A = this chain, B = another copy of it.
């Protein structure tokens, strides 16, 4: 279900906005009893008459405040909680004409405890997390657009697992106001959609930034391929996906070369967890202090393990992050974008883990735009993607290069 295609048909008068919404509602009715991507959703809705996203049904991760739906953070601690206002990103979606169709499942407080959501391509596997429901809803074709958030790898990884395109934009392009915070330095709102053009149309409409729309033809980018060896080994399927994407881009005219990242990036990768856990102890201080018994076990365990990180250790971690961000400048003079793994492999079997964010952490810490491009389908109908990374603030460049890779893969 392509957002861009729906937009074109609605604009041409070939499809009414209400019919487009009804199609999403039907797809949800048909599939969600099995997939479990939604916490709650509307059963009927009329589209607004104007706005670039009229007729577009959007799923919102359930850690993002909504005035018209409860916002339960994936936790019994927030059962029945009704925020007064929509989060800014939700209000911006509405302003652009979108219809908020429901709230999608999230691991508790966007951490690691899996939801009951199934991978739409193979029900025996995880859809990933923490934005489980948004990735699954888009991967299943229930909605053309969904919002998630990423602190470690909670947008790009589930997108890879569910065969969805996704963008984690530059820090602060989308406000995180009204989003339940895990780590205020790292939390980034992201978009899931069927393809890269759909992401560009969605992000442009939400932000009012027309420069994010794809140009009619995308110039061949200079691509640096990085394997993030500091993050450990990856499965054969991910190695194949990265090679396939790199070769396809090269065949289509891109300049492609392998890049070794300087040692500061291994340090930055390592200290991501320090930043995340130090801030999580403050962000979730009330829940941890007052509602300990009701906290999800994996999250609680990680908070237990990371108590009492000294402020000096956090300050040092933030200083390393600043250094690593500066060290990206010379790299991005040599290449336009980086190409790397989106996940260590295919979605793991079973629902006891949402997979590992180790290939995403560094890029969340860098604040750079990352786009997942679905790349191949491995045995068991399991999707694998790659991620395209551009400099901070160059979200248009990230989208254009991701589009280039996506089109090269189709040739």
CB within 8 Å for A286 and B85 given contacts A175-B279, A311-B208: yes
On chain B, the residues within 8 Å of A283 by CB distance are 88, 175, 177
Report Cα–Cα, A81/B287, bound state, in Å: 19
With known contacts A84-B77, A91-B285, A208-B311, A177–B172 Cβ distance under 8 A = no
> In whole angstroms, how far apart are the Cα atoms of A87 and B285 in the complex?
8
Residue A282 at the B interface, CB < 8 A? Answer: yes
Contact with B along A356-373 (1 / 0, CB 8 A): 000000000000000000
Q: Cα distance A283–B179 when bound, in Å?
A: 12
Q: Mark A267-290, 1 if CB is under 8 A from B, else 0.
A: 000000000000100110111011
Find chain B residues with CB under 8 A from A285 CB.
86, 88, 91-92, 95
Q: Cβ of A84 and Cβ of B78 under 8 Å apart?
A: yes
CB contact between A94 and one of B85, B289, B311 (< 8 Å): that residue:
B289
Q: Which of B87, B94, B207, B286 contacts A67 (CB 8 A)?
A: B286
Tell me, yes or no, whether A332 is within 8 Å of chain B by CB: no
Of B87, B175, B209, B286, the contact of A86 (CB 8 Å cutoff): B286
The digit string for A84-115, where 1 denotes a CB below 8 A from any CB of B, is: 11111011101100000000000000000000
Number of A residues with CB within 8 Å of any CB on chain B: 36
Instruction: Tell me, rounded to whole Å, the shortest Cβ–Cβ distance linking A391 to chain B.
Output: 14
Q: What chain B residues lie within 8 Å of A185 (beta carbons)?
A: 172
Question: Are B81 and A175 neighbours in the complex by a CB distance under 8 Å?
Answer: no
Would you give the shortest CB distance from A91 to chain B, in whole angstroms?
3
Copies per complex? 2
Residue in B closest to A93 when the chains form the complex, CB atoms: B285
User: Which of B90, B91, B282 is in CB contact (< 8 Å) with A88?
Assistant: B282
A181 to B91 alpha-carbon distance, docked (Å): 14
Measured between beta carbons, the chain B residues less than 8 angstroms from A88 are 282-283, 285-286
> From A173, which residue of chain B is reached at the shortest CB distance?
B311
| Nearest Cβ on chain B to A199's Cβ, whole angstroms | 18
* Beta-carbon nearest neighbor of A393 in chain B: B315
With the chains together, A84 CA to B172 CA distance in Å?
A: 26
Using Cβ atoms and an 8 Å threshold, which residues of chain B touch A184? 172, 175-177
Within 8 A of B (CB), among A290-316: 290, 311, 315
Give the chain B neighbours of A175 by CB distance below 8 A: 181, 184, 279, 282-283
Q: How far is the CB of A395 from chain B (nearest CB, A)?
A: 11
Q: How far is the CA of A285 from the CA of B84 in the complex (A)?
A: 13
CB distance from A73 to the nearest CB of B (A): 9
Closest-by-CB residue of B relative to A318 is B172
Of B90, B207, B287, the residue contacting A311 (CB under 8 A) is B207
> Which of A86, A90, A285, A289 has the most chain B CB atoms closer than 10 A to its own CB?
A285
> How many Å lie between the Cα of A85 and that of B282 in the bound state?
12
A-B contact pairs, 14 of them (CB 8 A): A67-B290, A78-B84, A86-B285, A90-B286, A91-B282, A91-B285, A91-B289, A95-B289, A172-B185, A175-B181, A175-B184, A176-B184, A177-B184, A209-B311
Nearest 5 Cβ contacts at the A-B interface:
A91-B285, A85-B286, A86-B286, A177-B181, A88-B282
A67-B286, A175-B279 given; name 6 further pairs at CB < 8 Å: A86-B286, A92-B285, A94-B289, A172-B184, A172-B185, A177-B184
